[in-house]
Structure 1
Amino acid sequence: MAHNVVESSAKESFSAEPKISGPSTVEAEARPAESDGPETFEVEASADAAEGDTTPKKPLGFYLSFFAINILVLLFSLDATTLAVAIPAIAAELHGTTFESFWAGIAYYLGLVVSQPLYASISDVFGRKPPLYVAFLLFTVGALTFSLARNMATIVVARVIQGLGAGGLDVLGEIIVSDMTTLKERPLYLGIMALPISIGSVLGPTIGALFSDFVSWRWIGWINLPLLGISFPLIVFFLRLRSLGSSFEAKMKRLDWGGMSLFAIGCTLFVLPLSWADSLYPWNSYQTILPLLLGAAILAGFVVYEAKPEAPVVPYRIFHSRTASVTLCGGFVHGIILFTLLQYLPLFFQAVMLDSRIGSALTLLPTSFSSVLGAIASVIAIGKAGMGYKVRIWIAWCLAILGSGLLLLLDSSSPSGMGYGIPIIWGAGIGALLRLLHIPMQASVPSVDDTGHAIMLLLTFRCFGSLVGLAIGSTVFSSVFEQAIAAVGELPDSLSVLRDAHNAVAFIPTLRTLDLPADVIAPVIEAYLISMRAVFYVIVGFSGLGLVTSLFTEELSLQRTDRGRQQFET
């Protein structure tokens, strides 16, 4: 095979975004000219690629590594969603307080949001596998500690540790797939990865309910261990990524220590009050306002500081692309609507339809399938048919708007067919966006070695969106429920706890067990319906905002075949 070696400079690669073009006639392979920076690399062109669509056959190690990464993203998705429904059972067994229950629920997300940018930054300097091994260790220790916990304090510590590990498993798994593939072939693999991600995200609450109701909540932790036992050896023995070279001391000097510290502190201070606002403390309390403002100020300082380091946590050049900026906005909005409805849709069926936790999960099972199919089909078709992503993103947002809007038609008298069918539309749209947004984000990078940063930013924005969405959903629900329940009038003793709107969500499992006359319970169910609809209205609005941001997305070329410094080696 003949090869031509072409010198490429970073200055040229940063000059413009790649617009739609015909199929690439050159298959490029990025090789580092210097081991301590992504800015200068050599491009190896394959003459065979110029002759057509010939793609080198991938070795068995590639597929085994990819299989292991799919297990990692499944673990991350499951543990992000299984615990919420099990917290009441855990708190009852371990005699936990409301405060401890709150921390048990938020600890995982806190570790996740704080750690993802740090893993991406460290892996860009030290290579992907060392921080991935650290993530494996933290996740395993967290899962074991959770499963063996004898009090709620241990549960909280375990979830923090597990979240710190999960942040690495998620973001490094996504980044490694981008290292292993070219942009041209990547839609296929992103589509395949949609299966474990969607299964974990959507079926997680069902699995958590099954474990807590019929086995033991401890299995939420134990179930991780055999999956870790399968994926870890596959990663160790079959994932071969090109070494970055350079000495340990040189790598330590390149790390953005100041940026990582500012982000970790600022993010923690900003996220915590978003999580406890209107649940532990009111929005207008100093416990909420002070850390929120302090966190925002530190994050603003972090943004300014990031212009200085040699290897920043968040390179400014990523935001030079309009497509990247609007895609990050879309990812933020996607996080808001995805996680808010994942929480409130099951609660809607339990409070308004008086379903059990398992019953509500079964009602939403078709929605789970539609989200999985939407995620897989929307992305794989891009790679197979060579079709653009922009129109598909618009269609997905329209499905999200239509689906969340149709939820407003549901009430306590709706036939079961409507309950099963209407959420399917929302599921298809939101599932498609789960993977589609990765395509323009990765296509917009000025250099292939910036793909890891782009992936990290999208995942981080989505996580921030989820926390903001849950805070908004909680505030809207509580404020509307307070007014609606006050209009009901006198309540019997068995319902008097609902006078405090903050008890409304926790009381939902009790509703279906009450033996009260229909004329007494019906107004209460109506109060829940009104409050849930208020949340749905907010989701419709944010879905519309997502569609508006997507209108500014550019159709960039997906024909790039260059590979980064840490590409897969056979």
Structure 2
Amino acid sequence: MDNVSPSNESRGYGKRPEEKPNAVEKHVENGKANDQSLSVISYSMQSSSIVELKEISQNDGLNLESMVASPAKKPLSFYMSVICLCIIVLLVAWEAASLAAAIPIIASELHATTLESFWANVCFMLGIAVAQPICATVSDVLGRKLPLYLSMFLYAIGSIVFALANNMTVLIIGRVLQGLGGGGLDVLQAIILADITTLKERPLFFGIIGMPIAIGHIMGPIAGALFAEYVSWRWIGWVNLPFLGIAFGLAFFYLNLRPIELHMSARLRRLDLIGMSLFVVATTCVSLPLSWAGSLYPWESWRTILPLTIGFAFVGLFAYYEKIPEEAVFPYRLFSNITAVMALLCAFLHGSILYIVLLYFPLFFQAVYLQKPLQSTVSLIPFAAPLVGFSVISPIIVKKTRRYRWQLVIGWAITTLFLGLFCLLKRTSSLTIVIVFQAFIGVGVGTTFSATAVPMQASVENVNDQGLAGGLVVIFRLFGGLIGLAIASTIFNISFTSSITSLGPLPEALKTLEDASHALGFIPTLRSLELPDETLGMLIDAYLVPFRTIWIVITCFAGVGILSVLLSKELSIETEDLGRQHFELSL
């Protein structure tokens, strides 16, 4: 169980010719290995394989057994770097969720049209979707810190532009810049975490990083609503800057990653520029119509069908082309086994469920229980608290048990069961029951939140691919969220049209609901309607139908999640190697 995996060299990958000897090799070659240096070499076990250290010990008389017996002590720079990554993920998760609650006030102040309000919401997620894979592949070729700093810069500029905006066009430009920067930050934190930790110890840090992600997703809407209602919506942008400043300082002074030793011109030639271009076109053409279909434009509109058709054509072209480049955006080797494919499917399904729940649970409370927007966001806490807790607990259990498969099965099973029970709720159902169901859904979603990355990274053969594998989990979770929200929007509109039509002729106050695209925007008005109790009850039931249909669909998603884990394998997570861009120590 505690066997140590072989080094990259013993696996047959060999050492890259351009790489210089690491700190341990230099230290030994210079004849400086002595008792005082054992503590440094002990930590460097995480920057070298055990096989390499065994060779050092045989040549220099070092006691390898004592080195292995005592756990390596992490330097201060490691912990500062982890704090930096926590701040990064908190910012991105926070920003992704904060605008939704504030957009009505922003639209009113800046006199926004429906189309402009839509773009303000969607452009951030589109920027993230475009930037994530590009930053992942660029960091693999050029090194991590250059795209990290560029992402921080774009995010900061976008936040300032957003906060200073005096019209919707400027605000949208700010959101696009934030999305491009945020996409890079989001995927690079996963990649860098894989660089600075071994697979054996990484589950613990998945839990640590998972906590600010979950907190950001939950607190974003609350903070956005509070800023917009009691201070100013512009603080949604300003509040990012001090956190970015702290993250930049920590990265600059403490994130000491081993550089790639190729000349910059040689590295630039290895970039998959054609693949990146194809991906940007494909992502944009697919994401936009999926975002507006059924809400802004009908599914049968040419504005939906044409870009979607072009987008899928470019997806096919991109997938075919990616066989060619040496440093592809999505290397085929990462999809070469069933465990990797099922892990990415789990990430996709998890993103769909998480994003749908975060958006539609508060709307459900507003429509069915007639809560105010801020109150509905607070009502999400019974889901949020277990989500945060189990996103930390789950990977710690993986670290202790050295097993992940059945834990993921249990997480998906809990999610499936209680989402299924959520489908049975009525407008007369007790809020206590709703809270209990929410809590168990949070347990299930939290259990699978961080642990999903473990099988994906365990499935790759080359340790240098583990960072990119972790990045793919982040990318697929986001795409799952985008497509899941598009599916939920379509389901809501179709189902609401059917349920509202069944009520017969509508009174004048409800005439706007004859167009289902206005149904979500009408929800805040429900609690102020002066209607007979019977009519209001029938209207709430009409709203309940599309919500219930969405719950049924995501219950099926969770069921597929169980199946995907059962089809994967329980792989060893005992690897103690680090990739070529690991921490570099000076002796």
Shift of 1:569: 1.8
- Give the counterpart of 1:258 among 256, 274, 279: 274
1:461 paired with 2:461, answer no
1:364 equivalent to 2:380? Answer: yes
1:24 aligns with 2:4: yes
Range with bigger deviation, 483-492 or 529-538: 483-492
Asked if 1 retains the 8 angstrom alpha-carbon contact of 2:195 and 2:581, the reply is: yes
Say if 1:73 and 1:169, in contact at 8 Å, map to a contact too.
Answer: yes
Residues 31-69 of structure 1: per-residue CA shift (max 9 Å, x gap): 9532389xxx98553346656453321111110111011
Name 1:46's counterpart in structure 2. 53
The whole-number CA distance in structure 2 between the counterparts of 1:139 and 1:549 is 36
Instruction: Name the amino acid aligned to 1:328.
Output: L
1:49/1:294 Cα in 2 relative to 1: closer, same or farther (>3 Å)? farther
Who is 1:137 aligned against? 153
The match for 1:321 is 337
Secondary structure of the residue that 1:409 maps to in structure 2?
Answer: coil
Deviations 1:190-222 (A, max 9, x none): 111111011011222222222222222111111
Deviation at 1:26? 6.7
**Given the superposition, is the C-alpha separation of residues 85 and 25 from structure 1 closer, same or farther in structure 2, using an over 3 Å criterion?**
closer
Structure 1 match to 2:32 = none
> Are 1:475 and 2:490 matched, yes or no?
yes
Question: Aligned pair in 2 of structure 1 residues 90, 432: CA closer, same or farther (>3 Å)?
Answer: same
Q: Which has the larger radius of gyration?
A: 2
Q: What secondary structure is seen at the aligned counterpart in 2 of 1:33?
A: coil
Distance 1:250 1:346 in 2: 51
How much is the aligned-residue C-alpha RMSD, in angstroms?
1.9
- Correspondence for 2:16 among 24, 33, 36: 33
For 1:428, the aligned partner's letter is: V
| Cross-structure match for 2:36 | none
The alignment of Structure 1 onto Structure 2 pairs a total of residues equal to 546
Residue of 342, 345, 352 corresponding to 2:361: 345
Q: CA contact under 8 A between 2:161 and 2:171: conserved in structure 1?
A: yes
Contact 1:36-1:251 within 8 A present in 2 as well? no
Matches within 5 A, 1:109-188: 109-188=125-204
- CA–CA distance in structure 2, aligned partners of residues 109 and 151 of structure 1: 20
Name the structure 1 match of 2:307: 291
- Structure 2 match to 1:400: 415
Tell me if structure 1 keeps the 8 A contact 2:130–2:283: yes
Whole-Å separation in 1 of the counterparts to 2:69 and 2:217 = 35
Unaligned runs of 5+ in 1: 1-20
2:48/2:577 contact within 8 Å kept: no
8 A contact 2:129–2:475 mirrored in 1: yes
How far off its partner does 1:317 sit? 0.7
Look up the match of 1:247.
Answer: 263
**C-alpha distance in 1, partners of 2:521/2:449?**
29
> Alpha-carbon deviations, 1:157-178, whole Å to 9, x = none?
1111100000111111111111
Q: Distance in 2 between matches of 1:336 and 1:66?
A: 27
**Structure 1 residues 538 and 216, CA, compared in 2 at 3 Å: closer, same or farther?**
same
Amino acid at match of 2:16: A
Is 1:206 matched with 2:186? Answer: no
Match of 2:465 among 450, 459, 481: 450
> Which amino acid is the alignment partner of residue 17 of structure 2?
E
Letter matched to residue 547 of structure 2? M
In structure 1, distance between residues paired with 2:346 and 2:405: 13
Change in 2 beyond 3 A, CA 1:69/1:42? closer
Q: Which string of whole-angstrom CA distances, capped at 9 and with x for unpartnered residues, describes residues 450-501 of structure 1?
A: 1122122222211111111111111111111111111112323222211111
Cα deviations by residue, 1:219-267 (Å, 9 ceiling, x for unpaired): 1111111111211101101100001112111111111111111111111
State the one-letter code of the partner of 2:120.
Answer: A
Matches within 5 A, 1:524-563: 524-563=539-578
Instruction: Give the aligned residue type for 1:45.
Output: E
TM-score, structure 1 as length reference = 0.93
* Structure-2 residue corresponding to 1:74: 90
Query: Aligned partner of 2:493: which letter?
Result: S
Alpha carbons of 1:307 and 1:334: their partners in 2 closer, same or farther (altered >3 Å)?
Answer: same
Alpha-carbon separation, structure 1, partners of 2:518 and 2:199: 49
Structure 1: how far apart are the matches of 2:97 and 2:17?
A: 42
**Alpha-carbon distance in structure 1 between the residues aligned to 2:458 and 2:536:** 54
Shift of 1:101: 0.8
* CA distance, structure 1, for counterparts of residue 188 and residue 220 of structure 2: 21
State the partner residue of 1:412. 427
Q: Is the 8 A contact 2:187 2:475 kept in 1?
A: no
SS at match of 2:486: helix
User: Which deviates further from its counterpart, 106-115 or 425-434?
Assistant: 425-434
Aligned to 1:87: 103
Distance change (3 Å), C-alpha of 1:439 and 1:408: same
Q: Which amino acid aligns with 1:507?
A: F
CA distance in 2 between partners of 1:483 and 1:265 (Å): 36
SS at match of 2:567: coil
Deviates most, 469-478 or 493-502: 493-502
> Is the 2:8–2:15 Cα contact (8 Å) retained in structure 1?
no
The DSSP-based 3-state class of the residue aligned with 1:111 is helix
Instruction: Return the alpha-carbon distance in structure 2 between the equivalents of residues 553 and 75 of structure 1.
Output: 33
Q: Kindly tell me: are residues 349 and 23 of structure 1, through their superposed partners in 2, closer, same or farther at Cα, counting changes over 3 Å?
A: same
Partner of 1:495: 510
Taking structure 2 as the reference length, the TM-score comes to: 0.90
Residue of structure 2 in register with 1:8 after alignment: none
Structure 1 counterpart of 2:31: none
Please give the alpha-carbon distance, in whole angstroms, between the structure 2 residues aligned to 1:310 and 1:25: 26
Match of 1:306 in 2: 322
| 1-structure distance, mates of 2:309, 2:383 | 38
> C-alpha distance in 2, partners of 1:367/1:506?
24
Q: Does the Cα contact within 8 Å between 2:339 and 2:455 map onto a contact in 1? A: yes
* Native 8 Å contact 1:400 1:543 kept in 2: yes
Helix, strand or coil at the partner of 1:83: helix
Distance 2:146 2:330 in 1: 20
Question: 2:440 & 2:151 partners in 1: Cα distance?
Answer: 36
Distance 2:437 2:405 in 1: 25
Give the C-alpha shift of residue 438 in structure 1. Answer: 0.4
Whole-Å separation in 1 of the counterparts to 2:469 and 2:240: 28
| 8 Å contact kept, 2:459–2:571 | yes
Does the 8 Å contact 1:141/1:161 carry over to 2?
yes
Q: 1:107 aligns to what SS in structure 2?
A: helix
> What CA deviation, in whole Å up to 9, does each residue of 1:12-45 have, x standing for no partner?
xxxxxxxxx54327788999532389xxx98553
